Structure 1
Amino acid sequence: MLKRFTTLSPHKNMLSLSFLLPLFVMMVIYATMGVYPFGNSTLLTVDLGQQYVDFFSYYRTTLLSDPSAIFFSFTKSFGGEMLGLWAYYLMSPFNLIFLFFPQSQLPLAVTILILLKVSASGLTFAHLLVSRFAGKGLLVPSFALSYALMGYVIVNQLNVMWLDGLVFLPLIILGLEKMLSDESGLYYSFFLGVMLISNYYIGFMICIFLVFYYLFAFSRQEIAGLNDLKAHLKHFFAQSARFIGYSLLGAGFAAVLLLPTFFSLLGSKASYANNLIDWSFAYDPFEVVSKFYIGAFNFDQMPSGHPNLFIGTVALTAYIYYFFHPAFSIKERFTSFALTALFFLAMNVQFLNKIWHAGQYPIWYPYRFSFTVCFFFLLNGFRALRSYRPFPFSLACCLLIANAATAIYVLKKDFEFLEPVQVLITAVISVLVLVLLMLRDQPRKWLTYALLFVVTAEMTANAAIDLFRLGYVKQDEFADYQTNLNTMLADVRTSEDTFYRIEKTFQRSKNDSFQANYAGINHFSSTFEKEIPALFGSLGFPDGNGFIVYSTGTLFTDALFGVKYFIQDKKLPETFYDLNDGIYRLNRNSTRPDLTQYSIYSETDRSTTFENPYALSLAFGVSESVLDLELIEDQPILMQEQLLDAFNNQESIEPYFSLRPFDSNVFQNVTSAADDAQNTTYYRSVDGAISRIEFQFTPTSENPYYLILDAGIDDDNATLYVNNVKLDYYTTYRNDQVINIASNQQGENITFTIELLEDSIRVQDLKLYELNKALFEETISGRQEEGMTITSFSQTHITGSVTIADEDEVLLTTIPYSEGWAVTIDGEAAETETTLKGLLAVPISAGKHTVELTYRTPYLMTGLSLTGASIVGALLLKKYRKNK
C-alpha cells in the first residue's frame, strides 16, 4: 500500500496543480479587473450579458418552480419550443451552480462557473497526459495551463457554454485511445454522449475532429504480425468499425436530446444554412502567424477575424520540434503534417470552415472549432518534450530566424490588435524558451520550474491583455435594473390560470422576459424559429436572424398579441443619475405617444404602467379568410390593414389606416433628387454644415398617427427627431418600421426631422397614416367577445371556453405554430393549421365550445426510446466483455 501511495502521489499532485494553477491565475486577473466581489465589474459582456445571463435566470426559475417550461415557454418571444434552446445553451452539468445563487447574484455565479470550467479543462487535459501519454513532473501542469488558458478560452469565455468542449474533449480522446488499445469503448461512448448532451453544437465540431484524430491515432500504431497490405487493411477496417459503432452508441446516449433538437433546428439555425460552395480564402494565409503572438486580440476580432490559436511559446515551439523528433515514426509525423495543413485550410477556406460550423457561416466569433486544433498542437508538443533528448541546435537557429522574419512581417502589416511591445515581448520569450529547451538535457532540476514559470507568466499576460480590452456590465447597474424591473412588474404579473403579455419602451437586453419571468415578445437567441422574425418584420417591427424587438407597436399589434400592460420609463433629469451613483440608465428603444390612448394603471418613480383595454385573448374567433393571408414585405400598414379586414369579415367600407399628406417640407442645407416614384436621394449642400429635412403636419383628430420608416435609415446615416426631441427607436432592422409620432395631439404642429450624418441619404418616400380609432375599437370589440376565457393555464397545457359567432369559422391563436401542439374542441381532436406562416389556427364551428391545447415536444419519446435502447445495448456489451 505504501509503495502504491508513493507511486500515485506525484501524479495526484500534478493533477491538483493542473486544476489550481489556472484557477489561481484567473482569480488574480479577475481581482485586478475589479470583477465582483473584488470590485463593481462583472464578466457580462456581449452575448454573455445580452443573452446567456437571462437564460441562466430562466434555468433556475424553471428548475425551481416551473418544470413545464423546459419544453415550451411564453417567456420566449410570444411563445416557443424550448428544448432546442436548452440543448444549445443550458445543458451543461456545471449550470447546476445557478440553483445555489439568488437572481441578484447571477453575475457572481457566472464568474464562478467560468472559473470552474477553465480549471476543469486543465484537470482533464492533465488527466489525459498522465493516464495515456506517460505524463509526469511539472511538464504536465505547464501544458495543462497552456490548454486551460489558450487564446480560444480567453476570448471565448463569454460563450460559456462552449467551454464544456474543452473540459470533455480530453476525456473523449482518452476513451478513444483506450478503445484503440482493445480496451472497452464504453468510456469513449459515455463521454461523447455527455458532450453531445452538454452542447451539441461544439459536440458536432468535436465529432469532425475525432475522425481526423482517429486517423492520427491509427498511424501511431505499430502492431506485430501485420506484415502485408491486406492484413493492415483488415485491421484498419476492424478498428474503424469499432470506432464508428461506439461513436453511434455515444450519439444514441444523447438521442433523447439530439432527435427533438434536430427537429427544432430545421426551423432555426439550420434554416439559415447557405448552400453556396465557396472555395475562396477568408484572409491571406500567412496572416495567421499574427495569432501566435501574446495578446493577439481586440473587439474587432469578434465579428470577423482570424482563428484564435495562441497556446504559448513553449507549446508552439514543442509542436514544431515534434516534426523533427526521431522518437516518432515517419508515418505518424507525415499524418500529423497532413492534418495540420488541413486544419489551417479549414480555418481559412470558406467552404471548409462552413462544414465545421454545421453548414452555416458563423455570425461573430469565427473559427469556433480552433480549440480542437490547439488541442492537437498541445498534445503532440507535450509528447515531443516528454523525453529528454537534446534540442537540435540547428532547429533552434532556424526558429530564431523564423521568429525574426514573422516579427518583421506582423510589424509591417500593422495589425490593429498587435502593438510593437507585444511583438517584442513574444520575441524575447521565444529566445528564452529556446535557451531553456536546449539546456533540458542537462541534469538541472530548476529547468522544469523555469519552464513552468515562463508558461505561467506568458499565459497570464495574454489573458490579462485580452480581457482588459473588452467592456463589461457593472454589478450595481445589473442589480439596480433587476430590482427596478421587478418593482415595475410587481402589480401586473399574471396570477394563476390567467394569461396576457407585458411589454416595455426600454430594455437591458432582448431577453428581459427570461430574466424577470414574464410573458413578453422581445427575444434573441441562435435557436429562434425563422418564421417568427419574418412575421414581425412584415408587421413593421425590427427583426433579424435570431431576434425580434417589440419597439414599434401600434394599437392594433398591442391588441393582436394580447399586450395588456405596457410599461413606459420616465425620462429623468441627468442630475438623478449624478446624485444616485450606480443607478442604471434605462435604454429606451421605443417612442409610443399612442400609449396615452390607454389608462394609467400604476406608477413608480421611474416608470408608468398603462393598461390596454383592447388586448385580445390568447385565442379568439375570426373568419376563415385569415387563413388565406400571406406575409407582405416592406408594407407593414397594408399587412395590418389586411389582418383587420379579416377580423371584420372584410366588411369595412373605409380603411382602418388612412394615408395623410404632410403639410410642408423644409430643407436646411439639403437638396433632393427623385430617383423614381418611390425613392428620393437627399444631398448635403455645404460640407460640415448641419443638414436637415423637416416634414411638418398638424393632426386633425386625436387619433394615433404612424410613419413608415424606411429600412435604409439607421443611426449611421441619420439622426431622427420629433419636435426637436431625439426619436427613440431600435436602430438595427431589415424591414420598414412603423413609428408612432403623434397621438391625442389634435391641432398641434408636429415636425419629423431627418438630420443627415453623411453626404447623402436615399429614402423611400415617407408615408404618414392615421388610424381610425373608432373603427378599430368596433372591430376589436367583436374579437374580444369571441375571445377564449382561460380556465387553466400552464406553459404546455391550456384549457378554456369560447363562443364563436355564426360568420366565423377559425379559432386564431397568438401561439407560434408547431407540430407539437394538439388541440381538442369539446373533447374531440381538432386539425391544426398555420396562418401568416407562423400562427397556430384551428377550424371551429359556431357556438360555445370547450377548448384544450396541449404541447408535447416532437420526437422526444422517439429520442427517449433510442437513448433507452443505447443504454441497454451498452450494459449488454459490458456484460459480454466481462464474460469474454
Structure 2
Amino acid sequence: MKLRNNSSLHKLFYGLKSSLFATLIVLVISIIILNLYILEKINSKFIALLLIVDIFLNTWVTWSTTSKNVTSYNPYTEQTASLINKLPTSAKSQRLEKSFLLNNDRGESYTFNYRGVNVFSSNNDPHLSKLLGLLGLPSIGYYTYYSTGTQLTDALLGIKTYIMSNKATTVKGFSNYGLRDDLVSNKNWYKDKNNIAYKMAVFPLVFAGYSKNNLNLKSNSALLNQEKILQSLTNTKTVYFSNAITPQITSNNMLIKTSNNLISMQQIKKKKSSVIFTYQAKPNSNGYIMLDPTIMSWGKYISDASKMTINGHSFRSLSVNLQPIGIHIPENGKLILKIYWKPSILNKKIIQPNLYLLNENALFKSIQLVQSRKMAITTWKGNSISGTITLHKGQSLLTTIPYSNGWYATANGKKVKIQKYLGCFIALNLPAGKYTIQLNHKMPGFKLGIIISIFGIFVLILLKKLSSKYLQC
C-alpha cells in the first residue's frame, strides 16, 4: 500500500515538474519572439505563421491523445445515432431519454439532436436540479440524471420516448444504468434484439392548469411529491400510488433487525453476504421500490453493495437521494430484490425498501384531462413557440420549459410578465379568455457582445496602425 501511494505521489510530482518546465520554455520563446518583433528582426506575418503552426500542432497532439483513449466512441456514436434516426419524427416531438450513456456524458442530447432531461452544465438552474431531486431523480447542483424516472415524471416532463438497452457493458466507458420495468406493458416505437424504444402518454409542452407554488415538497418523499404536483396542476385529489407494501426479509451471513422503517444488518462472518427482499403484490401490475441512496453506485462511483438485482435484472443509479426503481410484478405476484454486500461491510443500516404500486388508469385519465387543455401549437422553431389556448377561471398557462434569463412572452400581441411554476418552469398568469401566445428566447447580452467584439476589432486595427506609424518614426 505504501509503495502504491509513493508511486502515485511520484507520478503527480513528475507531472507538475513537466508542466512547469514546458510553461517556462513557452514563456522564454514568447519573450524572444516579442523582442525580435520590437527590434524589427521579424514581421507580423512571421508571428501569424507561428500561431497557425502552434494551433495546428496543439490540435494534432490533442486529437491523437484523445483518439487513443476513446477508440470506442465513434462506433458508439454511429450506433446510437442510427438507433435514434430509426424512430419516427413523432417519437421525438417532445423529450426523449434512454437508459445508457458513454463516459457519463449527460450532454448526449446535443450530440444526437434530441430534447432530453440529462444535463451536466454549470448553466443549469439549481432550482430545477433541486425540484428534480425532490422527484426522486439523481439531481443536485448543476447535473441531473434521468435514471430513476417514473411514469408520473415521464408525464410531467413530457418524456414521450424512453429507450432501454440490454446491451452488455463491454465497451469501455459504456454504462447501462437504471431499471424501467414499469414500462414493459407500454407500446413501442421501435424494437430490435438489443434495444426497445417505449412509447409514453405524456402532458403537452404548454397547457392550461392550476398554479400552486407552495406545495410543501419534502426530501425522501419522491412519490408523494410527484402526486402532489399532479394533483395541483389538475386541481384534483387523484391518488396515483398504493399504500406501502413491506417485504419479507431473509439473509445470508447477516443478522437483521427492523425498527421504525429502518433495517439494521450485522455481518456474521467476514465474507460475502446478501439480503433478500420478497414482495407479494397484484400480478401484472407496475410500481416502484424506494431504495436507500447509500447502496447506489454507477460508473466510477462506489457503494457498499457489490451488486443489486430485481427478479434477476441488474441495475445501478447514483447515490444522491431516495430513488424509485421501476418494477413489473409477474403473473405469480412475486417480486424479489437481492442486495449483495461487499465482504468489508460489517454493519449497515438502510431505509426499508417498500414497494408502491402505480394506479395507471388514474394517471392515464389525468393525462387525457391535461391533453384536452393543451395549447394548439402553430409554430415551434428554434427558440420561438406560438399557439392558441383557452384559459378558464382559476387557470394559468403552464409549461414544462425551464425558465432562464432571456425569455419573454406576448398574449394577443401584448407583452406579459413571465411567472415561474414550481420555482423553475415558465408560466403566465392571465385572466380567463382565448389567447394567441408567443414565447421567445434571446440570449442575454448577445447584442452587447457583438458591439464589444466590433469595438475590439476596431481598437485592434487602430493600435496596429499607430504601432506601425510609431515604428517608422
TM-score band by shorter chain is 0.7 to 0.9
The 3 A distance-change label for structure 1 pair 807 and 677 is farther
Partners of 2:206 and 2:119 in 1: CA distance:
22
Matches within 5 A, 1:404-419: none
Q: Which structure has the larger Rg over C-alpha atoms?
A: 1
1:472 to 63, 69, 88: 69
Corresponding position: 1:711 with 2:293: yes
Partners of 1:307 and 1:812 in 2: CA distance:
57
Cα displacement (A) at 1:382: 11
The 3 A distance-change label for structure 1 pair 807 and 658 is farther
Q: Which amino acid aligns with 1:608?
A: I
Partners of 2:320 and 2:285 in 1: CA distance:
28
Aligned to 1:309: 16
Aligned to 1:540: 136
Corresponding position: 1:735 with 2:321: yes
Aligned to 2:265: 682
The 3 A distance-change label for structure 1 pair 585 and 527 is closer
Match of 2:70, SS state, is coil
Aligned to 1:635: 221
Cα displacement string for residues 142-166 of structure 1 (whole angstroms, at most 9, x for unaligned residues): xxxxxxxxxxxxxxxxxxxxxxxxx
Partners of 2:347 and 2:393 in 1: CA distance:
53
Cα displacement string for residues 366-401 of structure 1 (whole angstroms, at most 9, x for unaligned residues): xxxx76x853476469999xxxxxxxxxxxxxxxxx
Aligned to 1:772: 359
Match of 2:100, SS state, is coil
Corresponding position: 1:664 with 2:241: no
Q: Which amino acid aligns with 1:709?
A: L
Q: How many residues align?
A: 426
Matches within 5 A, 1:101-120: none
Partners of 1:850 and 1:637 in 2: CA distance:
35
Q: Is the 8 A contact 2:158 2:205 kept in 1?
A: yes
Cα displacement (A) at 1:489: 1.5
Cα displacement (A) at 1:824: 1.3
Aligned to 1:528: 124
2:97 to 498, 503, 507: 503
The 3 A distance-change label for structure 1 pair 726 and 564 is closer
Partners of 2:246 and 2:340 in 1: CA distance:
18
Q: Which amino acid aligns with 2:409?
A: V
Cα displacement (A) at 1:747: 4.1
Aligned to 2:340: 755
Q: Is the 8 A contact 2:390 2:434 kept in 1?
A: yes
Q: Which amino acid aligns with 1:685?
A: I
Partners of 1:597 and 1:849 in 2: CA distance:
38
Partners of 2:295 and 2:377 in 1: CA distance:
42
Cα displacement string for residues 654-674 of structure 1 (whole angstroms, at most 9, x for unaligned residues): 632222222522122211345
Cα displacement string for residues 237-271 of structure 1 (whole angstroms, at most 9, x for unaligned residues): xxxxxxxxxxxxxxxxxxxxxxxxxxxxxxxxxxx
The answer to which of 838-847 and 873-882 deviates more is 873-882
Partners of 2:287 and 2:270 in 1: CA distance:
34
The 3 A distance-change label for structure 1 pair 869 and 634 is same
1:655 to 217, 221, 239: 239
Partners of 2:407 and 2:386 in 1: CA distance:
13
Aligned to 2:191: 603
Cα displacement (A) at 1:875: 5.1
TM normalised by structure 1 equals 0.44
Cα displacement (A) at 1:718: 0.9
Partners of 1:557 and 1:610 in 2: CA distance:
15
Corresponding position: 1:622 with 2:209: yes
Cα displacement (A) at 1:834: 1.8
Cα displacement (A) at 1:307: 8.9
Matches within 5 A, 1:384-395: none
Gaps of 5+ in 1: 1-286, 312-369, 385-462, 578-582
2:23 to 375, 379, 386: 375
Aligned to 1:553: 149
Q: Is the 8 A contact 1:541 1:551 kept in 2?
A: yes
Q: Is the 8 A contact 1:617 1:789 kept in 2?
A: no
Q: Is the 8 A contact 2:290 2:354 kept in 1?
A: yes
The 3 A distance-change label for structure 1 pair 739 and 723 is closer
Cα displacement string for residues 104-157 of structure 1 (whole angstroms, at most 9, x for unaligned residues): xxxxxxxxxxxxxxxxxxxxxxxxxxxxxxxxxxxxxxxxxxxxxxxxxxxxxx
Match of 1:733, SS state, is coil
Match of 1:587, SS state, is strand
Partners of 2:30 and 2:116 in 1: CA distance:
52
Cα displacement (A) at 1:808: 4.5
Matches within 5 A, 1:167-566: 297=11, 308-311=15-18, 375-376=23-24, 379=27, 472-474=69-71, 477-492=72-87, 494=89, 499-508=93-102, 509-566=105-162
Partners of 1:736 and 1:644 in 2: CA distance:
20
The 3 A distance-change label for structure 1 pair 864 and 632 is farther
Partners of 1:841 and 1:561 in 2: CA distance:
14
Corresponding position: 1:853 with 2:443: no
Match of 2:189, SS state, is strand
Corresponding position: 1:809 with 2:410: no
1:841 to 414, 423, 427: 427
Query: Between Structure 1 and Structure 2, which shows a larger proportion of strand residues?
Result: 2
Match of 1:683, SS state, is strand
TM normalised by structure 2 equals 0.79
Corresponding position: 1:591 with 2:179: yes
Cα displacement string for residues 460-485 of structure 1 (whole angstroms, at most 9, x for unaligned residues): xxx9xxx79x98232xx333322322
Partners of 2:445 and 2:366 in 1: CA distance:
40
Aligned to 1:97: none
Cα displacement (A) at 1:556: 0.9
Aligned to 1:694: 276
Cα displacement string for residues 504-534 of structure 1 (whole angstroms, at most 9, x for unaligned residues): 1222232222221111221223443333322
Q: Which amino acid aligns with 2:266?
A: Y
Match of 2:327, SS state, is strand
Match of 1:310, SS state, is helix
Match of 2:438, SS state, is strand
Cα displacement string for residues 409-459 of structure 1 (whole angstroms, at most 9, x for unaligned residues): xxxxxxxxxxxxxxxxxxxxxxxxxxxxxxxxxxxxxxxxxxxxxxxxxxx
